Structure formats: structure tokens, C-alpha cells
Amino acid sequence: MTAAAAFPGVIITQPGPQYSAAYRQWQGCPSICRTPKGRFFGGWYSGGSREPSYWNYNILARSDDGGINWQDPVLVIATVPATRKQLLDIELWLDPLQRLWCFWVQRDYSCGGIKDAAHVSTWAIRCDDPDAADLHWSAPFLAFTGFLRCQPTVLNDGRWLACAYDWTCDRYCYSESSDQGRTWLRRQGGKKLDAFFDETQILERRDGSLLMFARTCKTGCIAQSLSTDGGATWTDGAPTDIPNPSTRFFLRRLQSGRVLLINNLDAKQRVAMTAMLSEDDGRSWPYQLTLENSTGSSYPDAVQAPDGGIHIIYDRGGRNARKEIVTCRICEDDIIAGKITALDSFIGNIASKAPQQTLAAPTDRDRIRDFDDRWLKNQFGDIAGADAIAQLRF
């Protein structure tokens, strides 16, 4: 925790109508969290004409009915364009002390550019009583360097691992805390396999070894790296036989001891959003339930309730006409059966939907889109080529 760093954005606890779904041109990359008393928080981001944009902002939404209906938004973390620092990619997590962490990524375009290690950092605010009627948040603070896109993992020895990746490094990177998030140390793992956005996640196996899954760019599958000494050393990234079209997945151990993986089960397209179960610590995945078959589903996140229910959130067509945030509630029996069997399970619930035509004034919308087009080519043309900008998938 680095409280001394100056926060360049703005935290809005009573968002105005300009932050409502009716004004959004796109939305995506969601996260989900459940409080001890059963309240759900969802987070995703929007703003501007696309990601990335100086007009991006993070959204916090809330559900008090099991994740079906959502108050959107209840809080906004907004970029201030004049600072040349973009705020994006919210990530929610309830720590072992039952405190709600709201992480987000800051990208600093005033430093040496996107290839500079100082370009990306992860910030947070924390709510120590997320079930309260009135939520009280800490001041924003710099948590650690790197780009966090998944919930931290708590090891049996009490360490917290936050897989905030570094695209300027050729090794998988993460941050580690041994004092419940007060301080974090930067760690490096094995060499990356074909990665730019590696979005790693770590599972502690029953034998104490650590399994790291990672996103790849062109390999068409999830990569893996292993540590048998608590993270002191790691194997280099190697391909698995799990298809993935270069997008985020979700990996977590369930209360039963089984391991849950939610993943686009396709090597090329963001289709086939699938919940998968492993009984051998991620070595095989015999049980599968398809949640979504349409094109453009991505970025799943999940949390398990004490009753065993698995609550899932992902985006569906967030960057095209659909612009939907979707929630599901399933259980392990559903995945084992390959179909919905429980009476209280559901899939495909629309938590938030932005309209095809927003309420934003056309002149404002066009001005921001034109600026974003020029700015994106300027920032990313050197790594992707100007002709490939439209194909970039974050």
C-alpha cells in the first residue's frame, strides 16, 4: 500500500446520469464479488468510444437479490483526460478478513510510453464493511505495479498472490503479500509463452505445488507454468491442451475441492463460454457446461456462495451492438450433468445493457471517437501496426 502516491482520477460515490448505461458506447471486462451477508457487487468499465480511451471509467454495481437485478452504477472511478492517465479494468475481491477490495489499473501516458515499466500500475480502494447500508471507502492508494485482471489467490501459508502482469517483461510476474495486503513484493516466474496480455492466475494444488495458467496471443490455448517450491522457481510457460482464443479465463478451487475453470473453449473465436470442473488439480477437465455459444462472450469472473452456488459474470458483445453484462448462477451438479439441473440455477441473465444508440449527443460522441481513433494509432501503432489497430483485442 503506497498512500503517498497522488491519485490522478476521481471517485464518484453518487454518479450522475451521464454514467448510466444509456450513455455508454460500449462496456465490458467485468468482475464479481459476494459479501458475507449475501450482497453482490459487480464491476466493469466503459466510457469513451472503446478501450483504451482517456474517457474510460470504472463502474461498481450492486445486487441485493442474488445477482439478478443490479443497481448500476453505485460508484464510478473516472479518468481525468487532462492528467494523461487512464483508469480501467476494475477487479473486485473479498479478502479473508471480509474486506472488499476494489482494484483498478492506471496507465500513465506521460511517462516513456507503453513499453515503459512505469506505464502500468494497480490502484485500490477498500471497504471494511461491504454489507453496511452506507459504504465507507478508504482513500485511493497505489497497491503495486503491474496490470491486475484477476482475483488474488490466498495460499495455505497465508500469502496473498496478485497476478498483476508486466507486458514489458519476458517473464510471468505477480505481487506477493505476507501481511494481509499492507505491503507487496514483486515476483517473477518462468519465461512467457507467446504472450503480450498474459493475465495469469494461480492455483495451489493439494500437494502444495503452484499451477499458473496464462493467456497466450497466437498459440490458441492456455499456457501453464509450475512451481514446486512455493514460488521460488517456476518452469517456463508451456502449452496445455485447453483451447483459448487469447482472452481471460477464470480459475479457482471450490469448496468441494474440485477446481473450476471458466473459459472460451475455442482456439480462435470468443465463443463457447464454458464452465469446467477438474477432480485432479487441473490436469483434466471431464465435466463441462456451456454457458454461452454466441460470438463475443468474454472475460468471465466468478465467486462461490456458502451454499455452493457459483455466481458468474462475463461480457457479451460488449464492444458491438449487444453491449451486455451477463450473470449466471450454477452449481457443480449442473456442470457434472452438462446441463442446468438445479431449480435455483440460471444462465444468461442480463445485468446491464447499453443501447444501440446512446443518449450522448452525436457531436460529443463523434468528437470522442475521432480523438480515440487518432490517439489509439499514435499509442499502439509501433507494436501492432496502424492497419492492425482495429483488430486489437484487449
Distance (Å, whole) CA 366 – CA 316: 24
pLDDT of residue 212: 99
- Please provide the average confidence, as pLDDT, over all residues in the chain: 91
pLDDT of residue 339: 98
**Long-range contacts, stretch 283-289, CB < 8 angstroms, 24+ apart:** 285/242, 285/261, 287/335, 287/336, 287/338, 288/335, 288/338, 289/330, 289/334, 289/335, 289/337, 289/338, 289/339, 289/340
Using alpha carbons, list the distances in angstroms from residue 154 to 92, 137, 158: 15, 23, 6
Which residue range forms the structural domain that includes residue 132?
1-148+363-394
Indicate the range of 83-87, 111-115, 146-150, 163-167 predicted with least confidence. 111-115
Average pLDDT over residues 166-173: 92
pLDDT of residue 367: 63
Tell me, yes or no, whether 279 lies in a domain: no
Tell me, yes or no, whether 37 lies in a domain: yes
Tell me, yes or no, whether 230 lies in a domain: no
Using alpha carbons, list the distances in angstroms from residue 19 to 6, 13, 55, 368: 24, 12, 11, 15
Query: Which tens digits make up the pLDDT trace of 245-265?
Result: 999 999 999 999 999 999 999
- Residue 3's pLDDT band, with cuts at 50, 70 and 90, is very low
pTM of the model: 0.92
Q: How many domains is the chain built from?
A: 1
Tell me, yes or no, whether 67 lies in a domain: yes
Tell me, yes or no, whether 222 lies in a domain: no
Per-residue pLDDT at 172 exceeds 60: yes
Tell me, yes or no, whether 332 lies in a domain: no
Asked if 251 and 261 count as a contact pair (C-beta separation under 8 A), the reply is yes
Tell me, yes or no, whether 186 lies in a domain: no
Per-residue pLDDT at 285 exceeds 80: yes
Tell me, yes or no, whether 392 lies in a domain: yes
Q: Tell which phi-psi region holds residue 342, choosing left (phi > 0), alpha (psi between -120 and 50) or beta.
A: beta
Query: Which tens digits make up the pLDDT trace of 230-247?
Result: 999 999 999 999 999 999
Length of the chain: 394
Average pLDDT over residues 145-166: 97
- Residue 83's pLDDT band, with cuts at 50, 70 and 90, is confident
Distance (Å, whole) CA 156 – CA 208: 8
- Residue 387's pLDDT band, with cuts at 50, 70 and 90, is very low
The single-letter DSSP state of residue 7 is P
